[in-house]
Amino acid sequence: MSTNSAEPGSLLTVTLVKAGRTKIGYPASVVSDDGVRLTVSAPWAADGVRDFGFVRFEPGDVFTEHYWRDRWYAVKEVRAADASLKGWYCDITRPAVVGDGAVVVEDLDLDLWVSADGDTVLRLDEDEFAESGLAESDREAADRAVQALDELELLARLGKFTALID
């Protein structure tokens, strides 16, 4: 895949890969691409409702997703069908690969949730990350993943999280 920029308004396919397998793929519309950060918009792509306890993702939700070619995370702003902000779901990933009508990201299990008011900041799936064996198979990637999660959490707790995507 090449790393050329995607044109605003164009469609591309977002593919999330986990442990060498495609976890989900869905169409998204390019909002902007400066060659480092790609921003796309897509409706909730999974079937039905996913209730995490702290937030529900459901049909009608719209995700504005930010992918970086040089950072180990993706930030997804989540809005309800009425456009009210639910919060931000952050996937810890290898840097995005963009080109040929697609963006591909490798999910490294760790996630962070930041509520719309910024009061709730939750580290997620640390148990899955530990069980993945990444620390043994690719120590550098595991270290980068933990650093990315720490960075996002710190920004959220300092009230500086939205500066990432402004």
When computed from its CA atoms, the radius of gyration of the chain, rounded to whole angstroms, is 15
Q: Is residue 122 within 8 Å of residue 112, measured between CB atoms?
A: yes
pLDDT score at 3:
47
Could you write out the DSSP letters of every residue in 67-104? EESSSSEEEEEEE-TT--EEEEEEEEESPPEEETTEEE
pLDDT score at 5:
79
Which residue from 115, 111, 108, 106 is spatially nearest to 125, judged by alpha carbons? Answer: 111
pLDDT score at 65:
98
User: How many CB atoms sit inside 10 A of residue 67's CB?
Assistant: 26
pLDDT score at 6:
87
pLDDT score at 166:
87
Residue entry with tokens 């591909």: 104
- Block means of pLDDT (10 residues each) for the chain, 166 residues, are 73 94 95 96 92 95 98 98 97 96 96 96 95 94 97 96 91
d(CA 66, CA 14): 11
